[in-house]
Amino acid sequence: MEEIHSASEDAVNGIPSRRPVIEMTIPSVLDKTISPPGMHVINLFVQYTPYKPSDGDWQDHDYRESFAQKCFTLIDEYAPGFSSSVIGYDMLTPPDLEREIGLTGGNIFHGAMGLDSLFLMRPVKGW
């Protein structure tokens, strides 16, 4: 919980987390048709990533690369050698999610997810 809280505070302060909260899924374990034999497709969902970093710009290739490598290195702590096995990746930052999918502010939850704004208390225009 401390690492989640720390990642959240980093995002509030406009910096990508020093220890990102990562959810990893490996769909090719169940669907062998999406990757060559002996290889896998892996999705990393990284939360608490600021829309506008205060210490860089998502448009900067080196900045993006640095953050991706930070995520891969963190995974290495749990799955040694992971980063050296990556042969390619695509990254969607919050501005990318806004531009490509239409998620305002790159927020995949479409707004705040606090107890005061869930279910019937969700703010809706005109109510």
- Does residue 64 sit in the same domain as residue 6? yes
Residues 13 and 71 in one domain: yes
38 and 74, same domain (yes or no)? yes
Structure tokens at 29: 């374990």
Stretches where the chain sits below pLDDT 70 are 111-113, 121-127
Residues 74 and 108 in one domain: no
Gap between the Cα atoms of 19 and 93, Å rounded: 17
* Total structural domains within the chain: 2
Q: So what's the pLDDT on residue 127?
A: 60
> Are residue 73 and residue 23 in the same domain, yes or no?
yes
Residues 111 and 84 in one domain: no
Residue found by looking up tokens 């959810």 in the block = 23
Query: In terms of Cα–Cα distance, which of 92, 90, 122, 125 is closest to 109?
Result: 122
Q: 47-83: per-residue pLDDT in tens?
A: 999 999 999 999 999 999 999 999 999 999 999 999 9
Distance CA 32, CA 30 (A): 6
- Are residue 66 and residue 31 in the same domain, yes or no? yes
The whole domain housing 118 covers: 93-127
CA distance 15 to 13: 6
